Amino acid sequence: MASQIVSSFFSTQVSISTKFLEVLDQLNNSLEELQLLRSIKCIYNPTKYARRTFEMYVQKYCNTEKQIMYFGMNPGPWGMSQTGVPFGEINSVKDWLKINGVVEKPPTELPARPVKGFECTRSEISGRRFWGLFKELCVSPENFFRTSFVYNYLPQQWMKSNGCNLTPGDFGTLQMEPLYNICDPIFIEVLKLYEVQTIVAIGKFCETRALKALKKYLPDSSIQVFYLPHPSPRTVNNNNWDQKAIECLKKLDLLQYYTITD
């Protein structure tokens, strides 16, 4: 019997990272149609103007199923908005995650919040604390991303005309309902794509959104939602965040995934 020849066109499988990028593009397209509040004068979306380095993060570290999602709110001005990587403090991204590259400018740039990419000299404390913790625990990024990844609910940074940061958590539920109707279903799609079993919500806003989205779109899901305090210095009594985070991970029985043993 003659052997069958199967075309590579039909046998090629689309990678998880490619599917994720397609889902994110859907999110960005929907956000373009969103009518925002008047107080939001400028928007940065680093998943678009920092696309090269954002894709490096996704393709390098988010190309397999993940048991655990670390769930953040949106980009910070001196972190992801500069590098395209969630919690993307520059030195952590460049030296530990080994991601570097050209970052373009957003369509509208505020003088008070310049985008300089990896030439930015500011350090985002939240990102430095977050990635610094897992560098200490995991030693190599591969040991973190073997089970886990980081996903932001909203890929946009919102600002007033003077550069002051605004977040979805700064507004009321009714004001943000159109945003939730866009971002919640995409969040659920990402959970399904990576077959996430545990969500570690970084901050109360993310904990609330995760619980509400699961209740609405996946009411029978067994996905667990845990709370982790946000590493922001704006949080009261947060100087020892790394110690609190380790205790939290230990209590949630998650520390086992990151502790390196001989």
The CATH number covering residue 148 comes to 3.40.470.10
Contact present, 125 and 230 (Cβ < 8 Å):
no
This prediction has a pTM of: 0.93
Q: What is the mean pLDDT of each run of 10 residues along the chain (262 residues)?
A: 45 87 98 93 98 98 98 97 98 98 97 96 96 97 98 98 95 96 98 98 97 98 97 85 96 92 57
80 phi/psi in degrees, rounded to 5: -60, -30
For residue 8, being part of any structural domain is answered with no
* Domain contains 179: yes
Helix, strand or coil, per DSSP, at residue 75: coil
Give the amino acid at 24: L
Q: Could you tell me if residue 13 is inside a domain?
A: no
User: 138 in a domain, yes or no?
Assistant: yes
pLDDT of residue 234: 81
Domain holding 60, by residue range, is 38-257
Could you give the CA distance from residue 70 to residue 225 in angstroms, rounded to a whole number?
10
At 24, list the tokens: 């994110």
Long-range contacts of 135-140 (CB under 8 A, 24+ apart): 135/92, 135/96, 136/242, 137/246, 137/255, 137/258, 137/259, 137/260, 138/258, 138/260, 139/260
pLDDT, position 260: 74
Q: Where are the alpha helices (DSSP H) in 79-203?
A: 80-83, 90-91, 125-138, 141-145, 173-194
The pLDDT of residue 137: 97
Q: Is 139 helix (H, G, I), strand (E, B) or coil?
A: coil
- Specify the pLDDT at position 12: 62
- What strands lie across the sheet with 165-166, from one edge to the other? 42-44, 157-159, 165-166
Q: Can you tell me whether residue 129 is helix, strand or coil? A: helix
> Strand 148-152 relative to strand 165-166: parallel, antiparallel, unpaired?
unpaired
Amino acid at 53: T
**Amino acid identity at 209:** R
Is residue 169 included in any domain, yes or no? yes
Instruction: Identify which of 118, 80, 99, 68 has the alpha carbon closest to the alpha carbon of residue 224.
Output: 68
Query: Is 248 within the bounds of a domain?
Result: yes
In a domain, 6, yes or no: no
Domain count within the chain: 1
Would you say residue 30 lies in a domain? no
